Amino acid sequence: MSFCAHASPSNLRPPGIPLVVRSPWLNTWNIPEDTSSNYYSYLPKPVPLFWPNYWNLQVDRVTGLTVLVRLDNTTYLCLGNPDVVTDGSISQPNIIGLELTPTSSKFILNAENLMAINLTFLNPVEPEDLVKQSFPFTYVYIDAQTMDGNPHATQFYIELSGQWVSGSTPPVEWHLIQDDSSLILNMYRQEILPMVSDGNGMMEDGARNGLTYQTGDFRILRQQFIHQGALTNVSDPDFRSVSDDWPEIALSIDQGRIQATDQSFMAGIGFTRNISVSYTSSSVQNQNRKPFFSTRYSQVEDAINEFLEDFDAARQRAENFDQILSKQSESISDNYADLVTLAIPQTMASVEWTVDEGGEDTLAFFMDASNYSRGSPVEGLYFSFPAFMFINTTWGQYLLEPLLRDAPQDFASADLGGLFPNVSVYTSPNYPRALEDSSSMLIMVAAQFKYSADRNWLKKEYYSTLTKWADFLIGNNCIFPDDTFITIEGQSGGNSTNLGLKSILALGAMAQISAALGHTNDSLWYGSKAREYATQWGTLVVEQTGAIPLSYNSQSSSAMTYNLFADRWLQTNLVDQSIYDGQAKFYTQTQPERFGFNYQDQTENTAFSPITIFLSAALEGSARNHLISGIHEKANDTSSRGIFPTHYDSVNASTLGGSGSIQQGSMLAILALNLESQFSYPIPASLNSQQKTIPTVKSRTAKIIGGIIGSMTLFCITALSFWYWRKQKRLRSQCRAAVDPFYLDEHPHRISHIPAKPTLGRSVAEGQQASFSLQNQVQDLQRDMNEMRNQIEYPPSYHTTYYHRN
């Protein structure tokens, strides 16, 4: 037995518990209907988060799932709706233990002190095998162990309703597929809707003794099991609509008279679709993309058989994955470990892993439950990217490529359309989000290069796309965004310090990408612009309290500068340590609301957990713990419904949005800082004037005090900085061996993570600091260079034209 009959309840009590959570279309959670009751005194009926409707529509779709256990002729309802069991003699066991891990939800139930029952839902995460990761199947298994020392006659029963594949009206069919290795009960709509519902089913090992099945009216099925302890192996021939005598499919097994189960009763629940996504780009029109597991299994039945036969090994792999994740997250704090546990199911289940008909072109698409039916929204990927990179760095490129391929605008698209699973690169341009989304994409691509051993995945045409986006940032004077743009939170981007910083770090990211691909001149250009902007940004956001203002011209306000995380993760070292120290001071000394900090002081009582956790990853010590504690308080609160939402009221915990969102993959941001870097590139401290013409931008009406440093002075300072840095680098090279900037990992798919190697970036920071100490000397040099001014060609005047380098 793998559980303790006297287990203590877990300290984690979220308002939503993952049950069958493996894909956007197989996503059922257990959530309370009456938050005022003692939710954990018994196991209530499962209510889905969404399928096929979405949480923000506030419409739940029932996916009926019932689990019964019969002990000595008395039946206990372990999962389901007690109001529709149809027999008053049924009892309800008490929950004596609840254990949540990143891959499983385990309930320990006490059946009147006779037997302890272990009901577990296992949703594996398979970092070593993308075929297995793409399986849209969940394991449900039951074990039992005596509590009174006596053996008991024991039978188990699992039942699925037709609501898993249809609403109340459309007719459904059901069929049995059985061989020596498996028994599959398949249910599907008679009229298949394209890419919406092919079929849902339940499967079991067909060789088990005492295994029986039955399909038909749920009342007949349950009465049969309650009175006989077994089903009839008969299938109802009357195909009909779901609301017509409620057809269901059920499995049961007779364990005999036992003190403990020697083998778990396991059933699989799955939802299969022949076509996962319809994809449109410049090269393909409505391309039907198949599930990735089809690259190994031509028939769904073969995949199901593999899934069933692999149960013991899959359970062990899941336990290993949980242990690795828990050990690393618990080293931060117990509260943080809880957040990671809750984040994994909703993040992993948001993705469709697909291939084309030829099985050669692998792409991943996702749906954010909090964004209706938007396909692969950039902000969802930006916040969840640390999770995918932490689990398997190769997965990042599969998620990025659909957003890179055939990009039609001079800036990144916000998503792949609003009709998922129909996705297209030709979406309506969302210009207000252009700075945010272009910056997000550049940062993610740089992270992909930095932490993946594969430098060849980025195609040549993608590089030109990335430079186009980076030039768009410069061409729009990204350090001082105007109110044409909006932030990732949907707020005005006018003079936003956060949006300005993100754009600066995106240019640093572009410098790293260029270096990784051998474009040295581009790397120097983008890196020097990032350094120039970062220096200026740092002088404009300093406050005595350590807070960073929401906008440059609103020093009395404050906002979470969550984009500091990108500076830490990419190791660009563009932000001075004093900024981090100030933020740590501010969030240590500021008292938050009960459920955490507001993400900006001008948004009343609104917490945004992905932003909060990104900032906590950038900070350390008590400030980090302070930020984490508020998210944990909400995650563990059952006063309002919602599956680990991103937006909530910081005072009363009411859910405001983002329930079930992939964005909660952001919870792994702190762990992602420990990924082993495969590539290091120092952001240069100077501008090589021969590399690129400075793009022209329009002048900003909201000028910042001090303005922009004069071009001649800037040139002198940066030139001396570069000279000093090169000199120091030569001196250092005499004392230590040269560092190879490329390090290839022989095992790019492994889970084990080693703290990132130190890069040369810190040396650049030292050079920059030294350069500022030479400013007095620069002033002397300026006088000597006055006579050269007439020979200098100044940058063009600012206007709105955007220039792209050919």
Q: What is the DSSP string of 209-271?
A: TTEEEEEEEHHHHHHHHHHHSS---EE----EETTSS-EEEEEEEEEEEESB-SS-EEEEEEE
429-482 pLDDT, tens digit per residue, is 889 999 999 999 999 999 999 999 787 888 778 999 999 999 999 999 999 999
Q: What is the mean pLDDT of the chain?
A: 80
Closest CA to 125 of 273, 22, 203, 30: 22
Poorest-confidence range of 316-325, 427-436, 793-802?
793-802
Note the pLDDT tens digit of each residue in 351-376: 999 999 999 999 999 998 776 688 99
Q: What is the pTM of this model?
A: 0.83
- CB-count exposure of residue 790 (10 Å: 0-12, 13-18, 19+): exposed
Let me know: does 627 contact 583? Beta carbons within 8 Å: no
Mapped to the 3 state alphabet, what secondary structure does 96-130 carry?
A: EEEEECCCEEEEEEEECCCEEEEEEEECCCCCCCH
β partners of residue 223: none
| pLDDT for residue 330 is more than 80 | yes
Question: What span, in angstroms and rounded, lies between the C-alpha atoms of 519 and 496?
Answer: 31
pLDDT value, residue 453: 78
> Given a cut of 70, is residue 54 above it in pLDDT?
no
Residue identified by tokens 């807070």 is 547
**Is the pLDDT confidence value at 56 over 70?**
no
pLDDT tens-digit profile of 618-672?
Answer: 999 999 999 999 999 999 998 887 789 999 999 999 999 898 999 999 999 999 9
pLDDT in tens, 272-318: 888 999 999 888 889 999 999 999 999 999 999 999 999 999 999 99
Phi, psi of 276 (to 5 degrees): -85, -45
Alpha helical stretches, state H, 108-192:
130-133
Q: Give the per-residue pLDDT at 168.
A: 61
Q: Using an 8 Å Cβ cutoff, are 324 and 340 in contact?
A: no
Residue 238 vs residue 803, higher pLDDT: 238
Least confident segment among 8-17, 438-447, 782-791: 782-791
Mean pLDDT calculated for residue range 23-41 = 67
pLDDT class of 542 with cuts at 50, 70, 90: confident
The per-residue pLDDT for 10 is 53
What is the tens place of the pLDDT at every residue in 707-751? 323 333 333 333 333 333 343 333 333 333 332 232 223 333 333
- Predicted pLDDT of residue 378: 97
Rounded Cα distance, 655 and 402, in Å: 31
More confident residue, 668 or 92: 668
Q: How far apart are CA 44 and CA 81, in angstroms?
A: 6
All structural domains of the chain with their residue ranges: 17-309
Strongest mean pLDDT among 141-150, 460-469, 793-802: 141-150
Q: Are the C-beta atoms of residues 787 and 459 closer than 8 Å to each other?
A: no
* Res 305: pLDDT: 93
- The residue that leads in pLDDT, 56 or 103, is 103
63 pLDDT tier (thresholds 50, 70, 90) = confident
Lowest mean pLDDT among 32-36, 484-488, 543-547, 692-696: 692-696
| 660 burial via Cβ count (<10 Å: 0-12, 13-18, 19+) | buried
Q: Contact, 240 vs 166, CB < 8 A? A: no
**DSSP alpha helices (H): ranges in 39-90?**
none
Please tell me the least confidently modeled range out of 45-59, 96-110, 469-483, 539-553.
Answer: 45-59
Name the class of domain 17-309: mainly beta
Confidence band (pLDDT; 50, 70, 90) for 102? very high
